[in-house]
Structure 1
Amino acid sequence: MQNGFYTVAGAMVTQFNRLDQISNNLANLNTNGYKEQNLVIGDFMRIYQQKRDDLPLQNQTKEAAKFLNRSINRVPHIVNEYNDFSMGPMKATGNPLDLALGEKDLFFAVETPAGVRLTRDGAFKLDEQGRVVTKEGYPVLSSGYFKSRQPIYVPAEAVNLKIDAGGRIEYMDQTALDTPVYVDRLMVVRVEDPESLKNEGGNLFTTEGGLKESELTIVTQTSAVRQGMIEKSNVNPVRQMTELIETNRLVEMYQKAMNAQMDDLNSDAINKLASVRA
């Protein structure tokens, strides 16, 4: 296979992956708490240089050559995927169980069948048992969950539910409307390096090896919880549409280059291989 054809084919596959990432961002434009996903595109030469510096290996040696094939050293390649954890716009809803967080490195903790996961989507509700859950039905955890192993329950008789900036949940008893009743406190988790989190689908995040109790930094003193508000997606639709157009144009360009490569290959086959010499 011609080296140029391989390079163009690899570049086209990379752009297809970029199209998937952009399409996913645009599809989640109205998803509460969604964080924009991005790709870093490099080439095999960059990977080679990093490996050489790590080992380290000197250039122009047989050992170094094992990590580099000159025929593919400029193929565009996805070298990193990351989330943009900048704050999305806040929207007031008036719903007492709609919650937002005013700092970008804070997360709510929820219990899923796969274990504890983090989310920025604070559109919570009460299920039939009176538990505070996500829209998927995952229980929202309290700050004392790892001791009690109990979700947050709100009694059926509770009225005028209040959640303060520290995550403290109270309600008014119908028999004594002037006396607040303490329910529980939300678990708010701080992640020092949000970019270390991995997407797990459903607007949930975890770490590479899965979240462990010992790794969670539970914030006991905070003023970042906003009741009656929702954080919207931080996706910039104008930038994403611009990148979508750019990526489509690159795919078209690579397609033309592939056609040109095939035309040259076919021409060589016809003119050289099929020639008969006496």
Structure 2
Amino acid sequence: MIGLSGLIAMRKHLDSIANNVANQTTPAFKAGRVQFQEYLTEAKEAEVPDLAKRAMVSTSQFTDFTVGGVKATGNFLDVALIDDQSFFVVDTPAGPRYTRSGAFTLDGMGKLTTLDGAPVMTSNGPLVVQQRDGPVTISGDGSISTSQGRVAGLRMVRFADRQQLTPEGGGLFSSATPPIDIPSGKGRLATGVLEMANVRPADEMSRMMAATHAYDVLAKTVFKGEPAEELRKLAGAGED
């Protein structure tokens, strides 16, 4: 059904915008986008006797990796990647994940982690420092030091095609292909600052209003009369 295809596509668009708005304060969050495509398919004569073909709608989702603004924090463990190609690596129960967020901290055991508690990977694996070693600092090339000197370097990676990364929430991405490691000490960071989300609230709200209006208009057309409940569920109509 032509209208139902468009309705499903528009629902994906609305969900993507809502997720962007929800993450507008998440450090280094990358906005998700939905690209619409129309394609032609042969119509059955019994259905559309006047037309040889009809347009259908499909969508593809992608991530906007534009670098967000930078906010000074003064925290010596906060760092921001200067270029738009690099990612930090964190360890999770599901395996390594990749993030642009450099909001790091030390847990109660002296382990370098994200704010969510995921271990941050270095050239030596997860890093644990002893309190007696003094304060931990991160320099502009990714080197991690204590009063005892350099102890490791942040692990940073790149990908041949960032659009192959899969967003997993919280600014994390997974990859089905191995990353390309940046040599230790060769990173380019700004310290004491954080990259912010590349979400522009005013733009997202404009997209939300336009998409909501289009969805409502299309839904009234598709569900005119007494629509099957299965179609409503498939298109997401009536969901919060």
The TM-score normalised by the length of structure 1 is 0.72
Does structure 2 retain, via aligned residues, the 8 Å contact 1:91–1:230? yes
CA contact (8 A) 1:143 1:218 kept: no
Match of 2:99 among 112, 116, 119: 119
Q: Does 1:27 align with 2:22?
A: yes
Query: Which residue is 2:64 aligned to?
Result: 84
Q: Give aligned-pair identity as a percent.
A: 30
The match for 1:14 is 9
Q: Name the one with the larger strand percent.
A: 2
Q: Which runs of 4+ in 1 moved over 6 A?
A: none
SS at match of 2:14: helix
Give the equivalent residue in structure 2 for 1:110.
90
Alignment of 1:42-191 (within 5 A): 42-45=37-40, 68-69=42-43, 73-78=54-59, 80-145=60-125, 151-172=126-147, 180-191=148-159
Q: Equivalents in 2 of 1:205, 1:228: separation in Å? A: 24
Tell me how far apart the structure 2 counterparts of residues 167 and 96 of structure 1 sit (CA, whole Å).
Answer: 12
Cα distance in 1 for partners of 2:170, 2:115 equals: 10
8 A Cα contact 1:108 1:120, kept in partner: yes
Change (3 A) 1:226 1:154: farther
Query: Retained in 1: the 8 A contact 2:154–2:184?
Result: no
2:225 corresponds in structure 1 to: 262
Aligned-pair Cα RMSD in Å: 2.1
d(CA) in 2 for partners of 1:167, 1:204: 20
Structure 2: which 5+ runs fail to align? 227-240
Q: Deviations over 1:179-198 (max 9, x none)?
A: x5222111111223222211
Instruction: Judge conservation of contact 2:142–2:184 (CA < 8 Å) in 1.
Output: no
Aligned residue identity for 2:190: R
Q: Distance in 2 between matches of 1:253 and 1:130?
A: 56
Contact 2:26 2:170 in 1 (8 A): no
Q: Tell me the matched-pair count.
A: 219
Please say if residues 87 and 100 of structure 2, whose CA atoms lie closer than 8 Å, have aligned partners that are also in contact: yes
Q: Give the number of the structure whose alpha-carbon radius of gyration is greater.
A: 1
**Letter of the aligned partner of 1:28 in structure 2?**
N
| Structure 1 residues 203 and 139: CA distance shift in structure 2, 3 A | same
Residue type at the aligned position of 2:79:
L
> Does the CA-based 8 Å contact 1:165-1:222 persist in structure 2?
no
TM-score w.r.t. the length of structure 2 is 0.83
**Residues 223/110 of structure 1: CA separation in 2 closer, same or farther (3 Å cut):** closer
Q: Is 1:235 the counterpart of 2:199 in the alignment? A: yes
